[in-house]
Amino acid sequence: MDHNNILAVVLAGGKSQRFGQDKSQVKFQGKMLIDHILSEIIDQFNETLIVTNKPINFMKSEKIFTTKDFKENLGPLGGVLSAMKWIQENNKKYNWISTFPTDTPFFTKKELKIFYEKININNSKLFFVKSQKTIHNIFGLWSIDLINKLEADLLAGERKVEVWANSVGVSTIEIEYKSIDPFFNINTKEDLNDALRIVKND
């Protein structure tokens, strides 16, 4: 795939209710969770957009931009639409957006490379990662062509990523791993402790 046609998007608009504080700002192995993902993807794309509704800290780079959700409380689908609108409003030429969460410290550019190598863009306008029978719908590749349907469905009340994805014919891309789960995500403080144990035992 031509990375020049893809905008990287980090979805940081969640409320982190189960964690009790903004988990993107939580430190893991001396680095904020959001910086773990940014440091893996920053050199893979021309630009990276963070969708967030509050001021947050993150690694400094002239390649990183921020935008707010065009409307709050719409969940991840709202963040995706906000990124697509940012592309249009800023006259960018991207045809796709590649989405990432803020809470997966073990994800690396290796998994991203595998994801893109397995994609045939003629098969779908939406692709999600699948591993160990689990679909990771925040790790996705979304065609900008979906913007009108996405906005209409959001305004009609759709909030569930998987339901909406199935309605447009999502394709899943299988990624295998042998040791540490690169898609392990931190939703609670218990998850954070588990992640620390994983590193210690690896």
Burial class (CB in 10 A: 0-12, 13-18, 19+), 33: buried
Q: What is the pLDDT of residues 159-198, one digit of tens each?
A: 999 999 999 999 999 999 988 999 999 988 899 999 989 8
In the sheet that holds 6-11, the strands lie side by side as 64-67, 48-51, 6-11, 96-100, 134-143, 126-131, 171-174
pTM: 0.95
Instruction: State whether residue 20 is helix, strand or coil.
Output: coil
Those residues with Cβ within 8 angstroms of residue 46's Cβ, 6 or more apart along the chain or in another chain = 3, 4, 63
Instruction: Pick the closest to residue 24 from 104, 139, 133 (CA basis).
Output: 104
The letter for the amino acid at 127 is F
Position 15 scores a pLDDT of 64
Phi/psi at 95 (nearest 5 deg)? -100, -15
Tokens 């891309």 belong to 173
Per-chain mean pLDDT for the chain: 93
Position 54 scores a pLDDT of 87
Position 143 scores a pLDDT of 98
Does domain 3-201 fall under CATH 3.20.20.70? My reply is no
Q: What is the pLDDT of residues 12-54, one digit of tens each?
A: 977 666 676 788 999 999 999 999 999 999 999 999 999 998 8
> Using an 8 Å Cβ cutoff, are 41 and 34 in contact?
no
Section 128-152 average pLDDT: 97
Helices 161-168, 147-155: crossing angle, 10 deg rounding: 130
- DSSP letters, 147-181, are HHHHHHHHHTT---HHHHHHHHT-EEEE---SSS-
Burial class (CB in 10 A: 0-12, 13-18, 19+), 180: middle
Those residues with Cβ within 8 angstroms of residue 26's Cβ, 6 or more apart along the chain or in another chain = 19, 32, 33, 186, 192
- DSSP letters, 31-43, are EEHHHHHHHHHGG
- In this predicted structure, the answer to whether residue 9 has a pLDDT above a threshold of 70 is yes
- In this predicted structure, the answer to whether residue 1 has a pLDDT above a threshold of 70 is yes
As a whole-number percent, the residues of the chain with pLDDT over 90 amount to 81
Position 73 scores a pLDDT of 85
Question: Beta strand 96-100 with 6-11: parallel, antiparallel or unpaired?
Answer: parallel
Instruction: State whether residue 139 is helix, strand or coil.
Output: strand
Q: What is the pLDDT of residues 72-128, one digit of tens each?
A: 889 999 999 999 999 999 999 999 999 999 999 999 999 999 999 999 998 999 999
